[in-house]
Structure 1
Amino acid sequence: MGRKRKTVWRWRIVALLLLAAMLAAGWGWWEAMRWQPARASYPVQGALVGAADGAVDFNALRATGADFVYLEASSGAGDRDASFPRNLAMASDAMLPHGVVHAYDPCIPAERQAANFVTIVPRDARMLPPAIALDKLASDCGDPIIEAGLESELTTFINQVEGHTGQPVVLKVSRTFEDAYGIATRIERNLWLERDFLEPEYALRPWTLWTATTHLRGESSDNALRWVVVQP
């Protein structure tokens, strides 16, 4: 009988520990969905928005603390974000400062990507500096010549985007891309880095923009927001 009681108590303790772990995980997830960097440390904050975020209410986004928004616009030589025209109009109507992002594909010549970008992105001196998202690796192209010419082709694309917009670009560099090519130390442009909850350090020089969380929930969107801050 004594052994049976000990077994029952062990199972009860295990159950309580599991319940406590589940409650702690739930609390942590709840906090993650509400967390954003303190305004005292980062006074200027905003969001990155694209078709994957669904319908975004830009007035609500501004009311909940966004000082600016970046809009995913184009990718590669022909892909365009389906929500970009709507998002561009809505951001303008909400009087929310905005810029655009192009996802760079190293497998596609710079000239073709630039043609895609200039076709969809208007010339507007009021817009924020354009950002180039660097995530896809040239090694995925399966052509060593492409990988060897990555920096040259990227520089060509940068020059054409800057010629169209009249502003220096921001390089939105993923950790994977930076680890592979060290592009942050080879091309001197402002950096946009990413890391949930903790400041990123992988570029080995200061960043200008930081995607601080990809989990933030708010009334402006049904989906989680990618929340971005500016280096003070």
Structure 2
Amino acid sequence: MDDNKTPAQDIFERWRSITSARIGLMRSGQGISTRVMLEFQIAFAQARDAVHSRLDTAALANALGSDTIVTHSAAPDRIAYLMDPGLGRRLASDAVIAGDAFEAVIVVADGLSATAVQRHAPEIVHALRAHMSDWKIAPIVIAEQARVAIGDDIGSRFGADLVIVLIGERPGLSAADSVGAYLTWAPLVGRSDSERNCVSNIRHPGGLHPQIGAANIAWLAEAARGGRLTGIGLKDRFVGPAELESTTPPSIGDDPNAG
């Protein structure tokens, strides 16, 4: 061990190697050290920047590499979006979204971190489409100033069985680029959060790798199609790296831990 480090410092360093959480903050007198304070200020600035970042829809559409539709919530700007969450849950009055009985629609929404979806959504979407190659999927929808529930409005207009919303999660002091995926069966305006399933903290490095995140989303999608539901009635499980090639879900009601 380094002679300049106390045993406590050495323990904290080992812990930091397996988590991005802010742990073992060193003190200087009655306060935290200058280094820790500066790291905190940087993390806070990154989180604030992520919340106010703007989605480059043209670049994102190009990276997605498939048919896309760009739309907007009822929030006229970022300030309104942050001040009135309800505006982000519904489409703008002039939004034109319509389709013909698609099985699934994937919505890429900026949420509270456009940085997150700009960085990770293309890889998630490409992997997800590969896993869901037997689904009839609508054009990808890119939604600005959007919250999770906007997927209910979009999904119902497409007549989709399932909507998958990939959204920038609220930034924290250890991560400003996490993507969350929310799945809702039979999307309709007014669905509650208890009727959804979520795969969160999709980011690399430091979180769930986009490829593994996509495998878990696809597993949930198949389970939802088999049971025709999402939410608290749908059992979840984690698909790890070794299971990427086998994501077939059990029948609804089976115990994945049995046997």
TM (norm. structure 2) is: 0.28
Q: Which structure has the highest helix share of the two?
A: 1
TM (norm. structure 1) is: 0.30
Q: Which structure has the highest strand share of the two?
A: 1
Larger radius of gyration: 1
Of structures 1 and 2, the one scoring higher in RCO (CA 8 A, sep 6+) is 1
